Amino acid sequence: MNLENQINYYTEFTSDKKILAEIEAILNRINNHITLKKGKFHDILVATTEAVINAIQHGNKFDPNKKVTLNITASKNKIQVIVQDEGSGFDPSTIEDPRTPENILKERGRGIFLIRQLSDSVTITTSSKGTIVEMIFIIKK
């Protein structure tokens, strides 16, 4: 693919929820070049926001000395979003299904579920040095 048809966005920030206000602006800038359908834009916005919230809250535990990185690569066919924290990692297989009767009324625990539902592909890589959530969104014209 020709590089001029690809948009790359990278940012690194401290573990502060203030960045959440910037995610929509970042995605709007990308949308100005790619023009996503409204539903797809919303899916990417919600999944990205959930991944960043998880990185800040669960990964870095709001530690201002730990960073979260957001790396977005967008082309006319797909958008790849990678969110990385500096936490101690976790086992993704231990995440409970929020749709089960015992979890349905819980106020938390839906982030990874939403990310998986809204993305076309999700890879979660975790270690004692942090977690990387890679989301792929296929763009259909």
Which range scores top for mean pLDDT: 13-17, 70-74, 75-79, 136-140?
Answer: 70-74
pLDDT in tens, 89-134: 877 776 766 566 665 655 665 688 899 999 999 999 999 899 999 9
Q: Which two tokens stand for residue 24?
A: 């929509």
User: How many whole angstroms separate alpha carbon 52 and alpha carbon 132?
Assistant: 11
Distance CA(141)–CA(128), nearest Å, equals 40
Dist. CA 81–CA 75, nearest whole Å:
12
Q: Are 114 and 46 in contact (CB under 8 A)?
A: yes
- pTM, rounded to two decimals: 0.88
Model confidence pLDDT, tens digit, residues 5-14: 789 999 999 9
More confident residue, 28 or 89: 28
Residue 122: the pLDDT is 96
| Between 137 and 36, the higher pLDDT residue | 137
Answer yes or no: CATH 3.30.565.10 is held by domain 3-138. Answer: yes
- Sorted by where each begins, the domain ranges of the chain are 3-138
